Amino acid sequence: MTEPYTPTEIMTVVAARALRNDDVCFVGIGAPSAACNLARLTHAPGITLIYESGTIDTRPEVLPLSIGDGELCETALTTVSVPEMFRYWLQGGRVTVGFLGGAQIDRFANLNTTVVGAYDNPKVRLPGGGGAPEIAVHCGEIFITMAMSRRGFVAKLPFVTSLGHGTGKGSREALGVCTKGPTRLITDLCVLEPDQETSEMSVVSLHPGVTRDQLRENCGWDLRFVAVPEETPPPTEEELAVLRELHDRTRRAHGGEDA
């Protein structure tokens, strides 16, 4: 019998389920990478994973530490230059899904990975955008994975690094952006999707055992719900086994304890 899953595991599993076998996916490091590779190892073996360093159709045995991890290049079908990756593949509209995370997010799924506090005198200076701002506007749609907390889910971002739905419905189009933007926000507590009328992210599914009050306690804005939110199907034994083995291989490869 598989041990009970953790909040991070259900977030990763639910994110993986959102991917399709024929997707071309631009993958972020961390939780997005775990979700994308779980999808590849389970229901979507034909998925094409692309990383920012230029690796195309990479099939890593372990999760990469960074976009420059040799594991990505060694297991890729081919590797192209970064300019070609962005200009031909990304800006050329050849990527169906971008998978992103962030330090902070607002109700319209705009992301901040730049600073917390004033830009010229921040409380915390974050890693920055990297390729995320380009991914956010040029991929066909965006999936976001983030653990839910008041520190991360804020009413107003101090800095918008990657565009979500701007200030609401029509904002992307007004800027000349033609892609869908964030269509799914997967957290450790629930799943949110943009409201059809306002583009505000609204709860469509609560994970097993999670209450509405718990969600409100971990969100910095007045959280909206669809009329009848569903309950997220829990991870299957197969999904958990594959995910845990992937993490175990990664720890062993990087010199950690054998879990």
pLDDT at 66: 87
Mean pLDDT of all residues in 155-163: 96
Quick check: is 87 in a domain?
yes
CA nearest to 96, candidates 147, 193, 26: 26
- For residue 56, the tally of other CB atoms under 10 A from its CB is 18
Mean pLDDT of all residues in 159-178: 97
The Cα 46–Cα 202 span in angstroms is 31
CA nearest to 49, candidates 18, 27, 22, 73: 27
- For residue 257, the tally of other CB atoms under 10 A from its CB is 7
CA nearest to 240, candidates 1, 7, 13: 13
Quick check: is 33 in a domain?
yes
Quick check: is 134 in a domain?
yes
| DSSP tag of 85 | I
Quick check: is 21 in a domain?
yes
pLDDT at 130: 87
255 band by pLDDT with thresholds 50, 70 and 90: confident
Mean pLDDT of all residues in 35-44: 97
Q: What tokens were used for 212?
A: 């509405």
Quick check: is 51 in a domain?
yes
Q: Percent of the chain, pLDDT > 70?
A: 97
Q: What is the mean pLDDT of the chain?
A: 94
Quick check: is 137 in a domain?
yes
List all residues 6 or more positions away from 160 whose beta carbon is below 8 Å from its beta carbon.
110, 111, 112
Q: Which residues pair with 56 in a beta bridge?
A: 50, 78
Q: What tokens were used for 179?
A: 């892609």
Domain that includes residue 187, residue range: 7-101+128-148+166-253
Is the confidence at residue 2, as pLDDT, over 70?
no
DSSP notation for 66-79: STT-HHHHHTSSEE
pLDDT, tens digit (0-9, with 9 covering 90-100), for 83-109: 999 999 999 999 999 999 899 999 999
pTM: 0.93
Please give the C-alpha separations between residue 112 and each of 87, 103, 131, 158, 212, in angstroms, as whole numbers: 24, 6, 13, 8, 25
Quick check: is 108 in a domain?
no
Quick check: is 153 in a domain?
no
pLDDT at 257: 56
Collapse the DSSP code of 123 into the 3-class scheme (helix H, G, I; strand E, B; otherwise coil) and give the result: strand
Is the confidence at residue 256, as pLDDT, over 80?
no
Task: Determine the number of helices (DSSP H) and then strands (DSSP E) in the chain.
Answer: 8, 14
The Cα 54–Cα 86 span in angstroms is 9
Question: How many domains, in total, are found in the chain?
Answer: 1
Residues in the chain: 259
Active site residues: 52
The Cα 1–Cα 85 span in angstroms is 43
Give the CATH number, domain containing residue 138: 3.40.1080.10
The Cα 194–Cα 200 span in angstroms is 5
